[in-house]
Every structure is written in C-alpha cells, then in structure tokens.
Amino acid sequence: MIWDILNYIGTIAFAISGAIIAMDEEYDILGFYVLGFTTAFGGGAFRNLLIGIPIEDIWAQDYLFIAAFFTITVIFLIPGHWLTYWDEWGIFFDAIGLAAFAVQGATFAVHAGAPLSAVIVAATLTGSGGGMIRDLFAGRKPMIFREEVYALWAALGGLAIGLGLINGPWTTGILIVLIVVFRMLSVRYKWRLPRHSSTK
C-alpha cells in the first residue's frame, strides 16, 4: 500500500513538474510529454540501474504511465497566462516528487539488502534523477547543482531509512512531509550549500 501510494504521488508530482517546465519553455505537446515522462520515470531508471533491477521493469507500470499521461495532458490544456501562478507550484510539486521518490528509492534499496551507502545514493538518485534529465532536456543547468539545498534532503531521508529510523506508515509520512518542508524552506530563505569562490 505504502509503495503504491509513493509511486502515484511521485509520478504525478514529477509529471506536473516536467510539464510546467515545458510550459515555461513554450514547448509543443510532444515536448510536454517528453519532459513530463522523463521527469516522472527518470529517477526510477537510475534506481534500477544502481540496485541491479532490470530497467525494463519500469515499462510494466502501465497504471503509472496512464496517470502521468492524463496529468501531463491536463497541464497542457491550462491557459498559458496562468504560468505566473504555476511557477511557484512547480517548485512545490517538484519538492513532493523529490520526497516521495527519495523515500521510495531508499526503501527499495533496503529491501534489496543494499548497504547504507547504496541506500543513500538510491534515495538521492531516485529523488533527483528525473529532475536532472528534465533540466538537461530543457537546456537548463540541473537544479540539483545550482539551486537552493535540494538533493541533500533526499540523501538525509535515505540516511534515516538506512539507519532503520523509519519503520511504518506514520514515520514514512512524517519523513516525506519533512523533506518537502525543508526543501520549500530552502527556497524561501535561499539556503545554499558552500560554493567555490572563483576568482574569475
């Protein structure tokens, strides 16, 4: 049950996020579907490669592809002048996708018997991998490297799961909420990780 819920939450949230970027870039309908689908399923592809799960297993998730398809279609039909209102919502939905898929990826790695390091990496890549592909396809610098604190929250979530601190529906829900809240606080207060002080 928890697994299915995380799948739906992450897939729909990232499909919305990808479609909003396509709207921002004024892409045609094909661009909407490409960015929406790659954002929704790119992280899962990274996870499967990392843990050794056949990557073609992603194609067996017909119900998720249908959910993503209808979600992207709805965003495409939204009038363009609404974009100013959706910029902030895009960040919010991206935060939800980050949280849901980070928790899902870490849980998947734990069940596969992966060590703690792999659990943390699985959380980070599952949570942010789709967004990286989306940004590259959109010709943008990946959010994970340039924006306010992003992937760190996914990694910390993976750490909590890998250490066995998250062991039920309630604690899982609390962890997802915390990742979303801290991601949004990072944006609100412009928290950033240390950067190299270039002389150029």
Report pLDDT digits (tens) over 48-86: 777 777 767 777 788 899 999 999 999 899 876 666 665
* Mean pLDDT, residues 173-181 taken together: 95
Predicted structure pTM score: 0.84
Alpha-carbon distance of 112 to 160, in angstroms, equals: 17
DSSP code string of 46-83: HHHHHHT--GGGGGG-HHHHHHHHHHHHHHHHS-GGGH
Residue 141 CB coordination number (10 Å)? 10
Alpha-carbon distance of 47 to 51, in angstroms, equals: 6
Cα 141–21–105 angle (5° rounding)?
Answer: 75
- Those residues whose C-beta lies under 8 Å from the C-beta of residue 72, and which sit 6 or more positions away, are 15, 18, 19, 32, 33, 36, 37
- Those residues whose C-beta lies under 8 Å from the C-beta of residue 87, and which sit 6 or more positions away, are 20, 24
Q: What pLDDT digit, counting tens, does each position of 110-144 carry?
A: 988 999 999 999 999 899 998 888 889 988 888 77
